[in-house]
Amino acid sequence: MAEQGPMTEAMYYILLSLLRPGHGYGMMGRIKELSGGRLEMGPGTLYGVLSRMSREGLIVLTGEEGRRKTYAITPAGREALLAEYGRLRRLVADGAILEEAER
């Protein structure tokens, strides 16, 4: 797996959604749900990111129902997701001074 830099929003949410294995269309619904309706992922974006993360070993194809392909997150993907989550938490924590400044 290549050295993982900061993730794009699409990668982050796709990995989050794949904590429970699913196919493309199902993932789109789950991402919308996880983001509270804020993020409506397009099928082109989704498919492009899935292909890339599959090549990078972050997700894996687990089954096919007709033309639909089911993916799941790999241990490497889970590790990358946790690392990104930690990074985002640190960013948010560092940004807490904004709230103090606003008071």
Q: Which residues bind another protein (CB under 8 A)?
A: 8-10, 23-25, 28, 39-49, 66-69
Give 21 or 79: the residue with its C-beta nearer to another protein: 21
Give 43 or 86: the residue with its C-beta nearer to another protein: 43
Cβ-contact 15, 76 below 8 angstroms = no
Tell me how far, at minimum, the Cβ of 6 lies from another protein, in Å.
13
Give 46 or 58: the residue with its C-beta nearer to another protein: 46
Residues 6+ apart with CB under 8 A from 39: 9, 13, 31, 32
Cβ-contact 58, 46 below 8 angstroms = no
